[in-house]
Chains A and B, each alone.
Chain A
Amino acid sequence: MSAPVSLKPHRGAATQAEAARKGAPSGAAASLEVEGVSLSFGGVKALRDVSFSVAPGSITALIGPNGAGKTSMFNCISGFYKPQQGTIRYNGEDITRMHPPHRARIGFARTFQNIALFRGMTVLDNIKLGRHAHLKTNILDAFAYWGRAAREEMELRRDVEERIIDFLEINHIRNMPVAALSYGLQKRVELARALAMHPRILLLDEPVAGMNREETEDMARFILDVKEEWGTTILMVEHDMGMVMDISDHVVVLNFGEVIASGLPHEVQGNAQVAEAYLGAGEPAAIKEKIHKRASVA
């Protein structure tokens, strides 16, 4: 459909070098391993002994019926929930108990199932916030807005404009308050904010939920571009099977808090247990048919 967006390589390289100089994550791919994670809320066992891993530079989809525990898993990975058991490793380092702001600094970024933008702020300010952890301006610089603060803000603005806003094609809305945008655009701005963090691993909770066909295709293309051009590792929760089958390298299926299958998209698609989890037991061929229908409707 629309022309592929390309990041100008020289500019990308310059910014990466600059990021490396500042000690910020360079965008190099990261790996994630979840090992035996269990989480319960009172009596509700949201996650039971969940293990899976996300390969560097891949797109991994976490799927499963409503209430399967996908968002809970995300919240463990981003540090809001502390699992009662198990470990989460990032590039081999145990991060299970690390605070969320610290995770942001080492390269985590995420979007939320129910969009968590700052509604009163403009698109531009929302995106700039993504860069927070990598900026150095201190309170005295800020009051004077002189020297470092001004320079840093200018660099930030250029980076946001040229790497993010151009890339996600949101030039026309940069000065609009987020609250005035359509749902689809808000999801895109949330992705923009996450990308501004220059993440090494990106967690997307239902990136295309509630979007129309065209918006979904755009978003799928952006996610693929992020993987291919930035080399970012991506873990996404998604109900849209068409999109999951199209763009993911690896699929993990959760049901009632347990991993019931994982593998390549087509392997998972053909798995009878997965079909049962989604649609109830029945004739495997008919179920497969149903899944295909679902995928094409979605």
Chain B
Amino acid sequence: MLIGTAKHSYRADEALLTTSPQRLWMAILLIALALAPLALDNYWLYLACLVSINVASATGLNILTGFTGLVSIGQAAFMAVGAYTVAVLEARTGLPFLVNLVVGGAVAACVGLVVGLPSLRVKGLYLAIATIAASFILHFVFVNWQSVTNGNSGINVTPASLFGVELTDYVHLYYVFVPITALMVLGAANLFRTRIGRAFIAIRDRDISAEVLGISLLRYKLLSFAVSSFYAGVAGGMWAYFFRVVTPESFPFIYSIFFLAAIIVGGMGTILGGVVGAVFMTLVPELLRFAVEWLTTIFPNAVTALSPIRTIVFGALIIGFLIAEPKGLAEIIQRIRRFFHLWPFRK
């Protein structure tokens, strides 16, 4: 039995944040997120919104690939489904934008269920190929289903509005997107405190013994696809409200790889991993761009050489971090945390 019999000791032990430093850091992070727009200029707010969208989608992919072990290279296609759903609903119905986002997620989840069917038979690279194939089929649909998607010219999206305010400024969008993403990340963290999350991990680690424990592979593999696609769909919906035009080229195949890279770099199978991976993949190229701009003011002659170097440095950084810690950035953060242990509460 754990420290006494009081029921609340189990409750404390099962909490998401178990130590005071963890709670303190989380509080600091939340306050920083709430106050950030005061300090950020428009460009950085734009980036913050983009990070928020990418974090939501990467967290979804992490549930599927990191936690359930089903490799998917179709996350961007599911985002596209959400984005198109939102665009169509916005154009043809008067539904509130939060409802549109949820419906976008739900439609993407249904598509995810269908795309997930091969996972009952094939794994690993074979499944990855199946999701690629599904991406191309969806792309074909977006281009050719003229009456709904308006083909190659795509659909313009009117701004979302909340309580009568049109969300056109990045500040407004920031204050809507960041809480939505935070709730999604919290939901994912909660998921892995329950039987459903444990079942996902069990399937990833050893599907035969999962079955003996009464876990239906059929149900949980499909559920994982649905949840992951729901996340992608909502993220895609936010994307639609953010860029305000959705075309078949809005969600290129490389964007799916971006998400796969994000969870690998961040750390597969940890909630923190999906978050830091998406932040890293979105912001580092921008930071490098600033570095290059700054360098060109010092070495004006090196402009042509510096810009490709930026891409190379980005690639090298990814490889470097992966060599330093194959489990991803989340593990590096954990190591730093262990190093400081209970700081600042340590005496």
Residues on A facing B (Cβ under 8 Å): 78, 80, 99-102, 104-105, 108-110, 112, 116-121, 125, 128-133, 135, 137-139, 141-145, 149, 152-154, 157-158, 161-162, 166, 171, 193, 197
Contact = CB atoms under 8 A, between A and B. Distances in A.
A1 B2 CA distance: 26
B35 interface: no
Contacts of B195: 128-129, 131-132, 135, 137, 142, 152
B205 A118 contact: yes
A132 B213 contact: yes
| Residue of B193, B194, B201, B269 with most partner-chain A CB within 10 A | B194
A129 B202 contact: yes
Contact of B199 (A129, A161, A166, A193): A129
A133 B188 CA distance: 21
A126 B202 CA distance: 9
21 contacts: A101-B213, A101-B214, A104-B211, A104-B212, A116-B206, A116-B212, A117-B206, A118-B206, A120-B201, A121-B201, A130-B213, A132-B195, A132-B198, A133-B213, A143-B187, A145-B190, A153-B14, A153-B193, A157-B13, A161-B2, A197-B214
Contact of B194 (A78, A117, A142, A161): A142
B227 interface: yes
B209 A132 contact: no
Nearest to B209: A116
Given A116-B206, A145-B193, A161 B1 contact: yes
Contacts of B206: 116-118
B216 interface: yes
Nearest to A112: B209
A144 B211 contact: no
A135 B198 CA distance: 12
Nearest to B198: A129
Nearest to B199: A132
| Residue of A99, A108, A132, A139 with most partner-chain B CB within 10 A | A132
A54 B210 CA distance: 25
A154 B14 contact: yes
A232 B1 CA distance: 24
A154 B191 contact: no
A110 B216 CA distance: 16
Contacts of A143: 187-188, 190-191
Contacts of A139: 191, 196, 223, 227
A154 B9 CA distance: 10
Given A101-B216, A161-B10, A142 B211 contact: no
A183 B299 CA distance: 62
Given A144-B190, A154-B10, A161-B1, A133 B214 contact: yes
B197 interface: yes
A104 to B, nearest CB: 3
Interface in B166-191: 187-188, 190-191
Nearest to A156: B195
Interface in B213-232: 213-216, 223, 227
B201 A141 contact: no
A80 B201 contact: no
Contact of B10 (A125, A144, A157): A157
Contacts of B14: 153-154, 157
Interface string B55-78: 000000000000000000000000
Given A144-B190, A171-B1, A121 B205 contact: yes
B7 A154 contact: yes
Interface in B1-57: 1-2, 7, 10-11, 13-14
A153 B187 CA distance: 16
Given A102-B214, A121-B205, 20 more contacts: A108-B212, A112-B209, A116-B208, A116-B212, A117-B209, A118-B206, A118-B209, A119-B205, A128-B198, A129-B202, A129-B210, A129-B213, A131-B195, A132-B215, A133-B215, A139-B196, A142-B191, A142-B197, A157-B14, A162-B1
Contacts of A161: 1-2, 10
Contacts of A166: 1
A114 to B, nearest CB: 11
Contacts of A101: 211, 213-216
A143 B191 CA distance: 5
A137 B213 contact: no
Interface string B119-133: 000000000000000
A110 B7 contact: no
A138 to B, nearest CB: 8
Contacts of A145: 190, 193-194
Interface string B275-315: 00000000000000000000000000000000000000000
Contact of A118 (B191, B201, B227): B201
A158 B7 contact: yes
